[in-house]
């Protein structure tokens, strides 16, 4: 298989995304926040569509990734706020809130997509790829943008490693020791949001949650201690991203998100079998 320069860059971007998802996913899993990724990923869609509309109206290239990612981040953040708000009623449980938010924000995005169809200049086909991901049509500059965001997430996790560890294992003790638990919790949610948004072009919003959960869950099966789990999650995530992108680049009809998730499931099942012995 001869790999063009573009394909190579995209594959590397997906690998980096996988590493970031594994890294952030470790703490998301341990802190029980995995499903917030589902809400935030789906909630990002209207933001992406809105950003594309604004770009087109301002005369910029509506396919340029950074504004779209920014829009997605804002919308995902609003989704997070909506989940917290609904959960605060104490009548609606968090997973009910997550389900309501993910479906209704996604619906808003779908409405936006149907409106965008009649607007000249907005490449609607490009936007729907954010739902299931499509590495085959990603451009190198898209991979750079998403890859940079993913790299930022990895560095942030490394910088916050001791605090995140304390948060996940004994938040009360850590609070007594002076850890600002609320801040670290917020930082984790923020990182989850950023990884989801970075994953949109490659893996798509529906399946990005799997990228956050699968490598971490696989690593959990194979490691008892956090440093090992972290390293394994990053490795498995990176491998899933890379292999998934390769498979999807080779088969035009296969959404990249699906390919990455199936690779991730394969790793997970292998870990289950290995541990079973």
Partner 1 sequence: MTEFLQLDLPPLLAALLAGGVCGLLGSFLVLRREALLGDAITHAVLPGIVLGFAVSGARSGLPVLLGAGLAAMLAAWLIGQLRTRARMEGGAATGIVFTGFFALGLVLLEVTGARSVDLDVDCVLFGQMETLLWPEATGLSSLIDPVALAALPHGLWLLLGVAALAGLTVAALWRPLKLLCFDADYAAALGLPVRRLEAALNLLVAAAAVAAFEAVGSILVVALLVAPAAAMRLLTRRYLRQVLGGAALGSGVAVLGYVLAGPLPMALGGVTVNAAGSIGVLAGLMVAGAALVRRARLSRRCAPAPG
Applying CB under 8 A, the span of 13-21, 144-152, 182-190, 204-212 interacting with partner 1 comes to 204-212
Applying CB under 8 A, the span of 63-71, 111-119, 150-158, 224-232 interacting with partner 1 comes to 111-119
Other beta carbons within 10 angstroms of residue 66's beta carbon come to 16
For position 225 contacting partner 1 by CB under 8 A, the verdict is no
Residue with tokens 């298989």: 1
Nearer to partner 1, 180 or 275 (CB): 275
Site string for partner 1, 5-34 (x = CB under 8 A): ------------------------x--x-x
Nearer to partner 1, 93 or 180 (CB): 93
- Report the distance separating Cα 136 and Cα 142, nearest Å: 12
According to DSSP H, which parts of the chain are helical? 5-30, 36-58, 65-87, 94-116, 124-132, 140-169, 171-176, 181-203, 208-222, 226-250, 256-276
For position 99 contacting partner 1 by CB under 8 A, the verdict is yes
Q: Compute the least distance from the CB of residue 144 to partner 1, in Å.
A: 26
The Cα diameter of the chain in Å comes to: 60
- Report the distance separating Cα 241 and Cα 260, nearest Å: 6
With H, G, I as helix, E, B as strand and everything else as coil, classify residue 184.
Answer: helix
Site string for partner 1, 52-91 (x = CB under 8 A): ------------------------------x--xx--x-x
For position 103 contacting partner 1 by CB under 8 A, the verdict is yes
Nearer to partner 1, 190 or 255 (CB): 255
Under a CB-based contact definition with an 8 Å cutoff, are residues 23 and 154 in contact? yes
Angle in degrees, 0-180, between the axes of helices 5-30 and 181-203, rounded to the nearest 10: 150
With H, G, I as helix, E, B as strand and everything else as coil, classify residue 155.
Answer: helix
- Report the distance separating Cα 145 and Cα 6, nearest Å: 14
- Report the distance separating Cα 259 and Cα 261, nearest Å: 5
Give, as ranges, the residues between 125 and 184 that touch partner 1 (CB under 8 A).
128, 131-132
For position 258 contacting partner 1 by CB under 8 A, the verdict is yes
Residues near partner 1 (CB under 8 A): 29, 32, 34-35, 38, 42, 82, 85-86, 89, 91-93, 95-115, 118, 128, 131-132, 206-207, 209-210, 213-214, 217, 221, 251, 253-255, 257-259, 261-262, 265, 268, 272, 275
């Amino acid at each position: 298989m001869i790999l063009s320069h573009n394909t190579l860059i995209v594959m590397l971007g997906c690998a980096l995304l996988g590493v970031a998802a594994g890294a952030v996913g470790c703490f998301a899993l341990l802190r029980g926040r995995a499903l917030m990724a589902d809400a935030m990923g789906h909630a990002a869609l209207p933001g992406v569509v809105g950003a594309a509309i604004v770009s087109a109206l301002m005369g910029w290239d509506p396919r340029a990734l950074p504004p779209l990612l920014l829009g997605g981040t804002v919308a995902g953040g609003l989704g997070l706020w909506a989940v917290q708000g609904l959960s605060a009623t104490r009548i609606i449980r968090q997973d009910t809130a997550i389900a309501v938010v993910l479906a209704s924000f996604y619906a808003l995005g779908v409405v936006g997509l149907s409106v965008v169809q009649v607007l000249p200049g907005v490449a609607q086909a490009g936007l729907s790829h954010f739902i299931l991901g499509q590495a085959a049509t990603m451009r190198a500059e898209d991979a750079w943008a998403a890859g940079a965001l993913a790299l930022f997430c990895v560095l942030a996790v490394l910088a916050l490693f001791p605090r995140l560890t304390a948060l996940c294992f004994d938040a009360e003790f850590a609070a007594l020791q002076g850890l600002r638990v609320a801040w670290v919790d917020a930082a984790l949610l923020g990182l989850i949001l950023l990884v989801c948004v970075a994953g949109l072009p490659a893996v798509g919003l529906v399946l990005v949650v799997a990228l956050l959960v699968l490598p971490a869950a696989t690593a959990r099966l194979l490691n008892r201690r956090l440093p090992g789990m972290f390293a394994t999650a990053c490795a498995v995530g990176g491998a899933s991203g890379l292999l998934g992108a390769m498979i999807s680049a080779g088969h035009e009809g296969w959404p990249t998100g699906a390919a990455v998730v199936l690779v991730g499931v394969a790793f997970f099942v292998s870990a289950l079998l290995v541990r079973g012995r």
